[in-house]
Structure 1
Amino acid sequence: MMFGSIDPALLLASVIVASVPIILAAIGELVVEKAGVLNLGVEGMMIMGAICGFVAAVETGSPVLGFVGGALGAAALALVFALLTQYLLTNQVATGLALTLFGLGLSSLIGQGYVGIKPPVTEDVPFGPLADIPFFGRVLFSHDWVAYLSVAVVAAVWWVLRSTRAGLVLRAVGESHDAAHALGYKVTRIRVLAILFGGAMAGLGGAYISLVRVPQWTDGITAGAGWIALAIVVFASWKPWRVLLGAYLFGGITVLQLNLQAAGSAIPVEYLSMAPYLITILVLVIMSSGRGKASLNAPASLGQNFHASR
């Protein structure tokens, strides 16, 4: 079935692909913020994941090693953030912004020799007859393994935070690091591990952009996806399943505006291009205004440095 020149099945399948990088980066940042750390360097980590993943995939010929390289490259940048904020007690907001600027510059330097090169193809998961089901086969069973991994990670984070001792400890550190320390928990160690996990997830999201969604390298390839991921964590009220819905909402807006442009919509291209970011800003304003439900769900120690001697 076609609506004008837009195929609904292809549109929904494209929404899933467009949402994967944001899901991975946002769920990683959610874990970081649940531990009480505000890392505004998601954009920088994503673009480092994009270039490190691209380089690893091109040099080895393996897309899987590309994703591993992307996760490791972004985690290394996250480790710098962790050392500065958790051991040197620098301001988290300023350090995160500096991390983004550093990541953008370093990725541009590394990627100078890789412009115009195509990475190895990341194959779709072979679902056999399921992929031939009308409509649903195209929408649900025609994606690569990372698309399914992103949903699995959301489910795993939800389960860990809700049903395990590790999740309880992580949430306790985010709500009151002093109380958690008094109970004998290693606050700094827990926060560092959360930051590394968030960095690895952002790196996977960045690598997905350069290896699958836009299979090439160009400067600024993430195009603000890290900032969108940060906004979605707030939009989701720090709840994992709402992160998934928020990412699909943004992915849907992005893909729809591209399809409307291709279909020759009468709406000016500039308005369509800015629509995803404008809607994200509006959502942030609405969810953050006053003492709304979203603001009440924020971890109490979010953005506060911890030192055991205090």
Structure 2
Amino acid sequence: MSIVYFLFAQTLLFAIPLMIVALGGMFSERSGVVNLALEGIMIIGGFAGVFYLNYMQSNDILHGMPLLLTGLLISGIVGVLFSMLHAFAAIHLSADQTISGTALNMLAPALGIFIAKTVQDGMQNVSFTNEFRISEVPGLSSIPVLGDLFFKNCYFTTFLGIAILIISWYFLMKTKTGLRIRSCGENPQAADAAGISVYKIRYLGVGISGFLAGMGGLIYILPISTEFTCTVAGYGFLALAVLIFGNWAPLRIAGAAFFFGFMKTLSYTYNSVPLLAKMSLPDTTYKLIPYVATLILLAFTSKNSAAPRADGVPYDKSKR
């Protein structure tokens, strides 16, 4: 039973940032802008967050939960600012959104490494002390089964991710602004005729995407490392696969993220799973598990995916 608890806990650590970033991509694409820059936004947001943690801890200014919350906020804000480059190119300049997103993905790690080496006298890695793991949640950790699954050796970011999922579903499906986002992704001409500013709504969608992806970058880093090397190992692209597999719907995205999170867990903890350990395959073979699973699932499910009709199509007022 202990192996089940272990695998579930590890799956949450990988699934939560994947879900948050995919939800960010959902808001952008539901508004009509393809955001391939999720990888780059994760990198730049994660870099800003880790750099902030490093500075605060090194100077003994802030610690614990206040440090984590402000770090997440800074990661999100930097993610928004970085995503605005993509938004401006895609919305106002009507640039090819694939090229724009790819450019940001290439810019982010280079920019992060440049800043890190400039500030740290040639050192590329930015380190921090992980003081954010919660060994037990008082009262809740004693609940049978659930206590071991959710409330022992956990991170606040797990509960934050669940809250973001609920808020995202409600915001997109039950609010007037959410309806406007969906309408701009499906039929921007009709939305414009109804008095909705398509440009503003698309900027909003990309901005939300940037905030969640930037924050997701830091959430991804926290449990797996104490230093950042300006890479998230293709997690932003994996989030795009989760978005497609989840059919641009919040709850389906959560399910897809949990599945891919489990695949990622197997690739990292195969030595703890007796069946996989007995296979004695090279380490690189296990590392391929989540990406091979992505290709296989998308091959079988992509035909049934229903992207927003105006996703990736620049809006032109003159073409009604």
Q: Fold-level match, TM-score > 0.5?
A: yes
Distance 1:119 1:307, change over 3 A: farther
Aligned to 1:240: 250
Shift of 1:123: 4.3
Structure 1 residue identity aligned to 2:134 = D
Q: Give the stretch that moved more between structures: 272-281 or 262-271.
A: 262-271
Q: Are 1:48 and 2:53 an aligned pair?
A: no
Structure 2 residue identity aligned to 1:252 = F
Aligned to 1:280: 294
Q: Are 1:94 and 2:99 an aligned pair?
A: yes
Q: Are 1:189 and 2:200 an aligned pair?
A: yes
Structure 2 residue identity aligned to 1:301 = A
Aligned to 2:62: none
Structure 2: how far apart are the matches of 1:137 and 1:226? Answer: 31
Structure 1 residue identity aligned to 2:70 = L
What SS is found at the alignment partner of 1:129? coil
Task: Calculate the TM-score normalised by the size of structure 2.
Answer: 0.88
1:106 to 111, 129, 133: 111
Q: Give the stretch that moved more between structures: 159-168 or 230-239.
A: 159-168
Aligned to 2:78: 73
Unpaired segments ≥5 residues, structure 2: 58-66
Q: Give the stretch that moved more between structures: 48-57 or 110-119.
A: 110-119
Aligned to 1:199: 210
Structure 1: how far apart are the matches of 2:223 and 2:73? Answer: 14
Percent identity over paired residues: 26
Aligned to 2:5: 9
Structure 1 residue identity aligned to 2:96 = N
Shift of 1:64: 2.1
Report matched runs for 1:124-163 at 5 Å: 124=134, 127-142=137-152, 143-163=154-174
Is the Cα contact below 8 Å between 1:34 and 1:238 reproduced in 2?
yes
Q: Are 1:210 and 2:210 an aligned pair?
A: no
Q: Are 1:306 and 2:320 an aligned pair?
A: no
Aligned to 2:269: 259
Is the Cα contact below 8 Å between 2:38 and 2:237 reproduced in 1?
yes
Structure 1: how far apart are the matches of 2:126 and 2:247? Answer: 40
Shift of 1:60: 2.2
What SS is found at the alignment partner of 1:124? strand
- How many residues matched? 300
Structure 1: how far apart are the matches of 2:267 and 2:10? Answer: 12
Deviation string, structure 1 residues 52-101 (Cα, Å, up to 9, x no partner): 00011111232222211211111111011111111111111110111111
Shift of 1:309: 3.3
Structure 2 residue identity aligned to 1:266 = M
Shift of 1:116: 6.2
Is the Cα contact below 8 Å between 1:53 and 1:207 reproduced in 2?
yes
Is the Cα contact below 8 Å between 2:51 and 2:126 reproduced in 1?
no
Distance 1:212 1:260, change over 3 A: closer
Task: Calculate the TM-score normalised by the size of structure 1.
Answer: 0.91
Shift of 1:211: 2.8
Deviation string, structure 1 residues 17-75 (Cα, Å, up to 9, x no partner): 11121111000101111111101000000011110000111112322222112111111
Structure 2 residue identity aligned to 1:247 = A
Is the Cα contact below 8 Å between 1:23 and 1:244 reproduced in 2?
yes
Q: CA RMSD in A?
A: 1.8
Structure 1: how far apart are the matches of 2:91 and 2:233? Answer: 29
1:19 to 15, 18, 24: 15
Is the Cα contact below 8 Å between 2:68 and 2:132 reproduced in 1?
yes
Shift of 1:281: 1.3
Is the Cα contact below 8 Å between 1:177 and 1:187 reproduced in 2?
yes
What SS is found at the alignment partner of 2:296? helix
| Ranges of 4+ aligned residues in structure 1 off by more than 4 Å | none
Structure 2: how far apart are the matches of 1:149 and 1:136? Answer: 17
Structure 2: how far apart are the matches of 1:111 and 1:64? Answer: 22
Is the Cα contact below 8 Å between 1:11 and 1:255 reproduced in 2?
yes
